[in-house]
Amino acid sequence: MLPAAAWGEKTGTFTNADRTVHLSEKAVDPPGEARADLDIFLDYAARTALRRI
């Protein structure tokens, strides 16, 4: 299980059903070793030697 940060613990964007894009600012620091989803994905890609074609 990967310790991922929740929506209030990371900065990012989201799109509503009416196609408006909103910026969500980080409200609090993530607990312990939790990281943002993108950070986890990039680390996984680097460790498994995934590359863009």
Residue 43 lies in a domain: yes
CB 5 within 8 A of CB 36: yes
Which pLDDT tens digit goes with each residue over 7-44?
A: 788 888 889 999 999 998 888 888 888 888 888 888 98
Grouping H, G, I as helix, E, B as strand and the rest as coil, residue 35 is strand
Tally of CA atoms within 13 A in the half-sphere of 31 that contains its CB? 1
- Total domains, the chain: 1
Q: Is residue 52 part of a domain?
A: no
Residue 14, domain member (yes or no): yes
Q: Look up tokens 């680097």; give the residue.
A: 46
Residue type at 20? Answer: T
Q: 4: which strand partners?
A: 35
Q: What pLDDT score does 33 carry?
A: 87
| Burial degree of 34 (CB within 10 A; 0-12, 13-18, 19+) | middle
Q: Whole domain around residue 11: which residue ranges? A: 7-47
Residue 2 belongs to some domain of the structure: no
Confidence label for 1 from pLDDT (cuts 50, 70 and 90): low
Model's pTM, two decimal places? Answer: 0.59
